[in-house]
């Protein structure tokens, strides 16, 4: 059973992790332990322990005698993470097709698909993106659960340590592009239901790699703009 101290560290780490993944801190900026402790209303010790945990996850870097810094990811890191994710999610789709989805998973995926289609038909673009983002997470997470293997979850969790691969950070695509992604969701689900493992795997890998190309291109452009402005 976790102690009060362990729970406090867990809560701080979770808060900082979310902030880092949401882009609240600029890459390579220093994370001042004293300031963070004051902001969070805790002592410096649990903050340092939480930062050490995040360093182990690869989200921050510790520099001797200088402290903790937000890690800057290169475009190669982003590309590699999407490649790993495509393999893991492709495997999940194949296993889900081979093993069959539970009735509960089928209901959840169909609800996610309907939610995505409804979201993308909304006139309010911001709301359309929000609703589609939720449906996208539901779709992928349910297929991952349907694979019934921890390997997929472990690999995707590793990929998720790179902020640019997270769904909330790839929702900047045009609505038309999102509609193409939604159509791909329907095709992937149809292949899984038809118990076509190779088709399901190929469709899912293509789906993820399509996102990789777009994100890598935008990320490279942003990095180039940063270098010009500094």
pLDDT of 166: 67
pLDDT of 201: 98
pLDDT of 225: 56
pLDDT of 55: 87
pLDDT of 75: 75
Q: CB-based contacts of 104: which residues, under 8 Å, 6+ apart?
A: none
Q: CB-based contacts of 180: which residues, under 8 Å, 6+ apart?
A: none
Domains of the chain: 4-70 (1.10.10.10), 75-229 (1.20.120.530)
Q: In the chain, which residues have pLDDT < 50?
A: none
pLDDT of 33: 93
Distance CA 149, CA 187 (A): 23
pLDDT of 57: 75
Global pTM value = 0.71
pLDDT tens, residue by residue, 10-36 = 889 888 887 887 778 888 899 999 999
């Amino acid at each position: 059973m976790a102690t009060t101290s362990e729970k406090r560290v867990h809560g701080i780490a979770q808060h900082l992790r979310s902030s880092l993944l949401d882009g609240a801190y600029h890459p390579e900026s220093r994370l001042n332990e004293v300031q963070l402790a004051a902001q969070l209303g805790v002592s410096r010790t649990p903050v340092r322990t939480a930062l050490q945990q995040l360093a182990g996850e690869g989200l921050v870097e510790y520099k001797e005698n200088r402290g903790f810094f937000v890690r800057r990811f290169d475009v190669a890191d982003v590309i590699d993470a999407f490649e790993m994710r495509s393999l893991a999610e492709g495997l999940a789709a194949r296993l889900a097709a081979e093993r069959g989805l539970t009735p509960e998973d089928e209901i959840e995926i169909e609800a996610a698909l309907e939610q995505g289609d409804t979201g993308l038909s909304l006139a309010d673009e911001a709301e359309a993106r929000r609703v589609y983002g939720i449906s996208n997470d539901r779709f992928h997470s349910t297929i991952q659960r349907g694979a019934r293997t921890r390997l997929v979850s472990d690999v995707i969790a590793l990929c998720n340590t790179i902020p640019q691969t997270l769904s909330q950070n790839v929702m900047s695509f045009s609505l038309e592009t999102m509609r193409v992604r939604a159509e791909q969701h329907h095709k992937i689900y149809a292949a899984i239901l038809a118990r076509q493992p190779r088709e399901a795997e190929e469709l899912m890998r293509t789906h993820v790699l399509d996102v990789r190309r777009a994100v890598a291109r935008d990320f490279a452009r942003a990095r180039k703009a940063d270098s010009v402005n500094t």
